Chains A and B, each alone.
Chain A
Amino acid sequence: MGEQQRIIVIGATSAIAEHCTRLWMSSPATVLLVGRDEARLERVADDLRVRSPASAITCVAIDFCDPVAIRTLVDDFAGGGAIDIALIAHGTLPDQQQCQQDLVACRDAMEINSLSPALFMEALAGHMGPANRGRLAVIGSVAGDRGRRSNYVYGASKSLLDRYAQGLQHRFAQSGCRICLVKPGPTATPMTARLTDEGLALARVEDVAQVIVKGIVKGKPVIYAPGKWALIMMVIRHLPRFIFNRLDI
């Protein structure tokens, strides 16, 4: 048994992130949970403390769009020892119609889904790449694979993470640190709670977390979760435009 793993989870109150963290903490770890709301973070932390009493769990609430706060937070945690796992999980599913009408909503959605996670990635990669170890994972989405009229504000934001991760993978190709881009399919979490009733088949968050955690261990550059979405999205990406544009999706 070596030392405890050092894990940082950004958007730690996300249901997907929470289930990943539970899996990682099946052995004791040193964990920093980052979110925007202290009380919500503490509820996640209490649960993890019950599950893993030997772990050291800390919560920090910050402004997710503040580059200075992001830099300071990441530098502090990295200063305590090499990071084994970093997961950037936050995101929000905006109302596409509203974003079309209201550019403030449109900007906010892009800020929290694109800009913010990219800044976290940049800050973390700066430590983890040179440390030559660990896993840096960010949650994108299958929605980032092809723009669709029903949610392209979200999709476009997520696709930025695709290129960003790709760039980092290129930059750290020789490093022992692996950059993983996670692309969940529709999953039953608070983000999709209002879609549950539309008969949409949602994956269980426990199952999605299992796939993500396995993929991260392997250091896969792209992790579709559940795995079937790799195939589905390959088809969707390759559909000729004249067919795709006629689909009501």
Chain B
Amino acid sequence: MVAVSSWGRLGHWEHQVAPLHDRSRIAADLATHGSGLAYGMGRSYGDVCLNPGGKLWTTRNLDRFIRFDEESGVLECEAGVLLRDIQQLAVPRGWMLPVTPGTCFVTVGGAIANDVHGKNHHRLGSFGDHVSQLRLVRTDGSQLDCGPDNAPDWFAATIGGMGLTGVITTATLQLRRVCGPWLETETIPFHGLDEFFRLADGSEEAWEYTVSWIDCLSGSGLRGIFLRGNHADDESTVPPVGKPSYLGFTPPLSLVNRLTLRPANGAYYFLHRLAAGKKREDYRPFFYPLDRLADWNRMYGPRGFYQYQCVLPTEQRQDALSALLDETAKSKTGSFLAVLKTFGERQSPGMLSFPRPGATLALDFPNRGEETLALMIRLDAIVGEAGGRLYPAKDARMPQQLFESGYPRLQEFLPFRDAGISSALSRRLLGR
């Protein structure tokens, strides 16, 4: 048994760890007694990737590419390949992942199983929208290939299926063309939700990437910075001004170095480090600002932290967001930096995909036990009332009823579950 945790470090639980190595032998590897679960990089915050007392099939060694067609941008690879490795391979050849989350240290399997989204959801949807085929191995020894055009029901269950339909062993992805690694970006400070929505809605047409960081301690009278970006459409490999902005960008390093720093000061510092204005920068600091701080999650100390990410339907977004931010500010328990972004008007590919039209807010809360749980229950009430949903990839505690109301296709999903797979989250929210 080995103690395993996830990104939120809320605890460490004993698991039987069984590494998967050879994609042709996985059916045999899965044929064991007791329940198991695939585990990628454990970059999920809560318990979606944990199976305490049971088996974890680690996929990190399923890290082979299978084929890449430089003409069409079609890439086939094993499910343990990291998004970082795909970017490193593809960008110099004029291709890039069409959708990427805020860290590149996640596996392809994990990105599919949570149907992750990026800053360009309004343009290109979620990760699953760019998967054309995947292979699923089930614990009964069967194996099936599915995609949007073949076995589409299995596909829709597996995209965002939280690993519960089987183990994904390989996937075929359609990459998107880029001229190079450069983005033209703009940073705009703003005050208040009205201004945020004006910026967000007004940028959807002309900007592919949009996101904002906000300082939550200010409540709904919030201040924040709005970031937007487009791919540079020329191939020059040298940024026009100064040194590469990859080096010029300083994420909140001091937060980690000086553990005693008051969070509010940290937020202040961080917001001020991001100079307003336009620049050309490498995709990495823009997409993955936190990846340069390995293990930043440890700054929350031994008790770990919760992330609370919800999406609120467009009609309710303003009122509900105000209420959430006020509640958070009032509680003073914590989240000092939060991410706020709008999702586009599109249907997600998975039955249990998180993205839906509306606005999404992600808040970090250091784990202070009951106090933190009580706050999140108050937030649940606001999200539930607004008809919103929470993101299982970030969750360790949502009430079953909020899950059921947030994911109306749940019943449709259940028949696709693999009887030999279970997670802490599935036991909590799906009964087994």
Contacts and interface: CB of A to CB of B under 8 A. Distances in A.
A50 B67 contact: yes
Nearest to B58: A196
Given A46-B66, A50-B67, A196-B2, A15 B24 contact: no
A47 B19 contact: no
A107 interface: no
A47 B64 contact: yes
A119 interface: no
Contacts of A190: 19, 21-22, 61
A193 interface: yes
Interface centre among A40, A50, A189 (most CB of B within 10 A): A50
B21 A50 contact: no
Given A193-B21, A196-B2, A188 B66 contact: no
B39 to A, nearest CB: 12
Contacts of B35: none
B259 interface: no
Interface in B40-95: 61, 64-68, 70, 75, 89
B3 to A, nearest CB: 9
Interface in A147-193: 188-190, 193
A214 interface: no
A39 B24 CA distance: 10
A43 interface: yes
Contact of A188 (B1, B19, B23, B65): B19
Contacts of A15: 21, 61
A46 B1 CA distance: 35
B17 A196 contact: yes
A188 B61 contact: yes
A218 interface: no
B19 A46 contact: no
Contacts of B68: 50
Nearest to B3: A199
B305 to A, nearest CB: 26
B1 A197 contact: yes
A171 B252 CA distance: 57
B16 interface: yes
B373 interface: no
Interface residues of B, number: 19
Contacts of B23: 43
Interface residues of A, number: 18
A51 interface: yes
Interface of A: 15, 39-40, 43-44, 46-47, 50-51, 53, 188-190, 193, 196-197, 199, 205
Interface string B14-32: 0011110111100000000
A43 B64 contact: yes
8 contacts: A40-B22, A53-B70, A189-B21, A190-B22, A193-B19, A197-B1, A199-B1, A199-B2
Contacts of B1: 197, 199
Q: Which 3 A-B pairs have the closest CB atoms?
A: A50-B65, A47-B64, A190-B21
B18 A50 contact: no
A193 B66 contact: no
A196 B15 CA distance: 11
A47 B66 contact: yes
B104 to A, nearest CB: 15
A196 B66 contact: no
B2 A47 contact: no
Nearest to A200: B2
Nearest to B65: A50
A193 B68 CA distance: 29
A197 B64 contact: no
Contacts of B19: 188, 190, 193, 196
A154 B166 CA distance: 37
Interface centre among B17, B24, B64, B65 (most CB of A within 10 A): B64
A42 to B, nearest CB: 11
A197 B23 CA distance: 20
Contacts of B2: 196-197, 199
A154 B65 CA distance: 33
Contacts of B66: 46-47, 50
A232 B169 CA distance: 38
A101 B239 CA distance: 67
B89 A197 contact: no
A196 B60 CA distance: 13
Nearest to A191: B21
B120 to A, nearest CB: 25
Given A196-B2, A197-B2, A46 B21 contact: no
Contacts of B67: 46, 50
B61 A50 contact: no
Contact of A46 (B22, B65, B70): B65
A189 B66 CA distance: 20
